Chain A
Amino acid sequence: EAGVAQSPRYKIIEKRQSVAFWCNPISGHATLYWYQQILGQGPKLLIQFQNNGVVDDSQLPKDRFSAERLKGVDSTLKIQPAKLEDSAVYLCASSIQLGQNSPLHFGNGTRLTVT
């Protein structure tokens, strides 16, 4: 099966600029996650979708981050305006369903550098 697709792979922007990341999950996967992984740390959940609805966005900095999954398939994560501390790898993951026994399938991530 095709994996989780993310683009772009790399992005360099200046602080206060905006940036958007795109994710296309594995076909048929209802649940989609965005994680932020800062260098030297484990992935931290930003937002979780079930189809086109938000399940959990408690750790999303909503003053600058937004995400949508309008048709319940692909998703976009946006940062506006970016700060230096947003430099990280942004990982998208999907799972078959919202449930205890559904392991995550990850994309390759987008490495963001904010200068």
Chain B
Amino acid sequence: AQSVSQHNHHVILSEAASLELGCNYSYGGTVNLFWYVQYPGQHLQLLLKYFSGDPLVKGIKGFEAEFIKSKFSFNLRKPSVQWSDTAEYFCAVQLGGSYIPTFGRGTSLIVHP
């Protein structure tokens, strides 16, 4: 069965620090990749997605992620975080031919002002 690993469960940063959250999956075929974010008290919402083409995808609020097929990874990055980026971040993988995204356990990000 496919699995999605987010190795950083809790990350604490100061404003203006750079962010990289790891996401690895265990499947060698075609995948669609997503990052979702859940701000405090709000619902899960899509941050960015990769289906095909340029492996560097840009999302909302200055976030980007890079798909590295050889490493089975889809890490999320932001050059300079803000206090408002405090949230839970979930990586999700959808196998080629499947309609169901599988989620990682999430990373809690706290940004200190």
Chain A residue contacts of B11, Cβ below 8 A: none
Within 22-57 of B, Cβ neighbours of A (below 8 Å) are at: 32, 34, 36, 42-46, 49, 51
Chain B residue contacts of A106, Cβ below 8 A: 36, 43-45
Contact: A100 with B96, CB < 8 Å?
yes
- How many interface residues does B have (CB within 8 Å)? 24
Cβ contact of A42, chosen from B32, B42, B46, B103, cutoff 8 A: B103
> Known contacts A55-B99, A100-B99: does B43 contact A43 (CB below 8 Å)?
no
Cβ contact of A48, chosen from B34, B44, B96, B99, cutoff 8 A: B99
Within 1-46 of A, Cβ neighbours of B (below 8 Å) are at: 3-4, 31, 33, 35, 40-45
Q: How far is the CA of A80 from the CA of B88 in the complex (A)?
A: 31
A23 CB to closest chain B CB, in angstroms? 12
Q: How far is the CA of A42 from the CA of B92 in the complex (A)?
A: 9
Q: How many A-B residue pairs have CB under 8 A?
A: 55
Q: How far is the CA of A42 from the CA of B99 in the complex (A)?
A: 18
The interface size bin for chain A is 20 to 34
Cβ contact of B106, chosen from A42, A93, A101, cutoff 8 A: A42
Asked whether any CB of chain B lies closer than 8 Å to the CB of A53, the reply is no
Bitwise, A90-106 to B at CB < 8 A (1) or not (0) is 01010000111101111
Contact: A56 with B100, CB < 8 Å?
yes
Closest to B42 in A: A108
Contact: B42 with A43, CB < 8 Å?
no
Contact: A99 with B43, CB < 8 Å?
no
Cβ contact of A101, chosen from B4, B32, B46, cutoff 8 A: B32
Interface, chain A (partner B; CB < 8 A): 3-4, 31, 33, 35, 40-45, 48, 55-56, 91, 93, 98-101, 103-109
Q: Nearest 4 A-B pairs (CB), nearest first?
A: A42-B103, A106-B44, A42-B105, A106-B43
